[in-house]
């Protein structure tokens, strides 16, 4: 696999030009959105739907790579994710929202791309071994998870995705997609669009245990969480391990609670920093201050989400319209792919 070429990457703050380049990003429907999503993916999506030709899809097949054993809540999660997006401000009139499994040609293209993708390329993807380590208690060392990047490439290529939002740590994944597309085009003609990275900030938002906030790690604070849930989760958060007793000086720069204060507590950030360093601010009070601000700032999302929940059929209608919009693009791509590969 070729070295990562950062010169091909595009900044989110540049290159908006006259023609709106097509950007694609997706979410796995594994549960409600959390605070980590809010400051990373969601804020990027809100900007992209204004600046680009935005395609946002729900990756229900991708969800099966780690959650194949129990799919009982999959449809509920799909519907919930659409409503979460809407409550967060994603506009289906400004962006195309669709469900991965509503486009069965994605699976066909993934199969075809898999025929020409070396196993060694897949085994070298950094996140493969990292995920196996983080979820060691679960059996995810399966064909679907190993082939995740091939399916991802099909998702991008089938709608002519030109730009894919990624952080620096995700560049190897996208570079693999670029390599697969290059190999396909060398073999069968200039059929697929080679995607480029749209470098975006992906802030590390800590969860309650100090690790990166993630549903799979069970350390998330949900955007839909009720005020008492938010307060309970914040109260359990780990803090600076060296600050054991009241009066012990703290280190805000290593404290997960203070990292969230940076996101929610601009009004008291300086005094929180000073009180922590001096040891005068008890961790219990520090956490309560954070929870108070999180409850207030997340209230508009919760209220809008409750309103949407009362409107039956909203999610289904939006996904159906998105699938209709995607279909001509998909059919054009697959006709060219089949022709290039002499599949009739």
- Per residue in 177-224, pLDDT (tens digit) is 999 999 999 999 999 999 999 987 767 899 999 999 998 889 999 999
Locate tokens 């979820």: which residue? 135
User: Do both 184 and 130 map to the same domain?
Assistant: yes
Please give the Cα distance from 131 to 95 (Å, whole number): 31
**CB-CB contact of 67 with 59 (8 Å):** no
- pLDDT beyond 60 at 12: no
Confidence of residue 4 (pLDDT cuts 50, 70, 90): very low
pLDDT band of residue 2 (cuts 50, 70, 90) is: very low
- Does residue 133 sit in the same domain as residue 44? yes
The beta strand positions in the chain, using DSSP E, are 10-11, 22-27, 53-58, 95-99, 163-166, 196-199
Residue for token pair 């950007």? 23
Number of domains in the chain: 2
124: left (phi over 0), alpha (psi -120 to 50) or beta: alpha
Q: What is the distance between the alpha carbons of residues 78 and 319, in angstroms, rounded to a whole number?
A: 10
Same domain, 24 and 73: yes
Q: Is 219 domain-assigned? A: no
CATH number at residue 299: 1.10.240.10
Residue 258 has pLDDT above 50, yes or no: yes
Does the pLDDT value for residue 3 go beyond 70? no
Q: Which two tokens stand for residue 237?
A: 């958060």
Mean pLDDT of the residues in the chain = 90
Is residue 195, in this structure, part of any structural domain at all?
Answer: yes
Determine the pLDDT at residue 311: 94
User: Domain containing 107: what range?
Assistant: 6-204+312-340
Kindly state whether residues 188 and 177 are assigned to the same domain: yes
Residue 262 CA to residue 294 CA, distance in Å, equals 11
The structure's pTM equals 0.87
In a domain, 217, yes or no: no
Ranges 37-51, 94-108, 142-156, most confident: 94-108
Q: Give CA–CA dist 90/47, Å, rounded.
A: 10
Residue-wise DSSP of 176-197: HHHHHHHHHHHHH-S-SPPPEE
Query: What is the pLDDT at residue 135?
Result: 55
Give residue-wise pLDDT tens across range 48-71. Answer: 999 999 999 999 999 998 788 899
Give the start-end residues of each E strand in 93-154. 95-99
Q: Is 199 part of any domain?
A: yes
């Amino acid at each position: 696999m070729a070295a990562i070429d950062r010169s091909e990457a595009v900044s989110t703050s540049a290159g908006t030009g006259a023609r709106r380049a097509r950007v694609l990003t997706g979410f796995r429907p594994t549960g409600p959105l959390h605070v980590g999503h809010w400051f990373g993916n969601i804020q990027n999506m809100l900007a992209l739907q204004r600046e680009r030709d935005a395609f946002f899809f729900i990756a229900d097949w991708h969800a099966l790579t780690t959650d194949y054993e129990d799919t009982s809540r999959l449809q509920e999660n799909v519907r919930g994710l659409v409503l979460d997006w809407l409550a967060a401000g994603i506009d289906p009139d400004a962006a195309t929202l669709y469900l991965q499994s509503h486009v069965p040609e994605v699976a066909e293209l993934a199969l075809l791309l898999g025929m020409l993708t070396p196993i060694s390329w897949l085994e070298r993807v950094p996140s493969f071994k990292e995920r196996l380590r983080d979820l060691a208690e679960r059996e995810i060392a399966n064909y679907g998870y190993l082939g995740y990047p091939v399916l991802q490439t099909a998702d991008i290529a089938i709608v002519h995705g030109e730009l894919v939002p990624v952080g620096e740590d995700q560049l190897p994944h996208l570079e693999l997609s670029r390599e697969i597309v290059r190999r396909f085009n060398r073999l069968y003609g200039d059929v697929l669009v080679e995607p480029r990275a749209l470098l975006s900030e992906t802030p590390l938002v800590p969860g309650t245990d100090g690790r990166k906030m993630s549903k799979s790690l069970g350390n998330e604070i949900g955007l839909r969480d009720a005020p008492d849930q938010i307060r309970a989760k914040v109260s359990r958060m780990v803090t600076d391990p060296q600050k054991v007793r009241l009066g012990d000086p703290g280190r805000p720069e290593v404290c997960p609670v203070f990292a969230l204060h940076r996101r929610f507590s601009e009004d008291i950030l300086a005094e929180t920093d000073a009180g922590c360093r001096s040891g005068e601010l008890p961790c219990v009070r520090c956490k309560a201050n954070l929870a108070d601000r999180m409850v207030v700032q997340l209230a508009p999302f919760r209220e809008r989400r409750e309103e949407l929940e009362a409107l039956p059929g909203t999610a289904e209608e939006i996904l159906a319209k998105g699938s209709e919009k995607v279909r001509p693009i998909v059919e054009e791509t697959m006709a060219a792919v089949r022709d290039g590969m002499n599949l009739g």
